Amino acid sequence: MYNILVAEDEQAVNDLITMNLKLAGYGFDKAYNGKEAFEKAKMGEFHLILLDVMLPIIDGFELAEMLGPYNIPIIFITAKNSLASKIRGFDLGARDYVVKPFEMLELQARIRVVLNSRYGETESIMAGGVKIDIKQRRVFVGENEVSLTKYEFDLLEMLAINKNIALSREKLLETVWGYNSECDSRTVDVYIQKLRKKLGFEDTIKTVYRVGYRLEV
């Protein structure tokens, strides 16, 4: 399990991020100022730090410089969106720079990119007794391989990567079928039914009322 330190002084934002990290299967710890974050980063084993720039006591830029010798990947999360701030962040070794406000799906995608780049690409995902081989685009229920179409696999992959998180039909349609698709949200419903039937996921892919779907693991 990857462990992530969330250094963010706004409790509501910190709670939102860590709640979503927990749902995605990550371990986490919280820090609300730069001094606390530095002490925890020194003592704990973290694979990634989500670091707010405008932290009390020690700001994020100064903290990133102090953490340099520890070689922990950093993603800055901040309202400071000037080019100068972004350049400074990357000059300090940040792997990414996310400007508030942001969507949790975007942040989770950026987290996956950094973790995969640093620690190796995720080759497979287990969800509800089903193995999803990302590299080979193969799916197994127990020992038996199940044949999926391109869109069925892409939809399953999106749900599995964001397991336990409710995804809207619009987001699934946009991500799987693309911005220029002539399909509508009913297409998502049809493909969800196909996945449920093929994988025995009737109770695993949950319908979220007036939102969309969630792969519950």
Q: Which of 85-94, 150-159, 167-176 has the lowest mean pLDDT?
A: 167-176
DSSP assignment letter at 71: T
Instruction: Provide the whole-model pTM.
Output: 0.70
pLDDT in tens, 178-202: 766 677 888 999 999 999 999 999 9
Q: Mark 5-27 as b/e (b = at least 16 C-beta within 10 Å).
A: bbbbbeeeebeebbebbebbebe
Q: Span 90-98, mean pLDDT?
A: 94
- What residues contact 149, with CB distance under 8 A and at least 6 apart? none
Query: What mean pLDDT is predicted for residues 86-98?
Result: 94
Q: Which pLDDT tens digit goes with each residue over 109-152?
A: 899 889 888 887 566 788 878 999 887 899 999 889 999 999 99
In the prediction, which pLDDT does 181 show?
67
Contact residues for 97 (Cβ-Cβ < 8 A; gap 6+): 75, 76, 78, 86, 89, 90
Structural domains in the chain? 3-119 (3.40.50.2300), 124-215 (1.10.10.10)
**pLDDT for the residue 161:** 83
Averaged pLDDT score across all residues of the chain: 90
Asked if the model's pLDDT at residue 44 lies above 80, the reply is no
Percent of the chain beyond pLDDT 70? 97
